[in-house]
Amino acid sequence: MPQQSHLDLDVAKADLPASVAYAQSLGAVLADNSASNASFVVLLDPSGHPFCLCAC
């Protein structure tokens, strides 16, 4: 697989669940969440590119 860029987006900690739900409403799906925790969630965009929503 070719190298991909990885994007981390900071969101307020209290907004993390709503931000994940919003990303999913736009077509994102949860990635293998073995890396996700209460501080960040790994998702894949509709093309399969990974990105993280990070609580700050």
In this predicted model, what pLDDT tens digit does every residue of 27-49 receive, in sequence order?
Answer: 999 998 777 788 999 999 998 88
Instruction: For residue 10, give Cα distances in angstroms to 27, 31, 39.
Output: 19, 18, 10
Q: How many other β-carbons are positioned within 10 Å of the β-carbon of residue 3?
A: 5
pLDDT at 54 over 80: yes
**pLDDT number for residue 18:** 96
pLDDT at 1 over 80: no
**pLDDT number for residue 42:** 93
Token pair, residue 18, equals 């709503």
**Strand intervals (E) in 1-56:** 7-11, 29-30, 40-44, 50-55
Mean pLDDT in residue range 14-28: 96
Domain boundaries, the chain: 7-55
Fold of 7-55: 3.30.720
pLDDT tens digits along 4-15 = 777 899 999 999
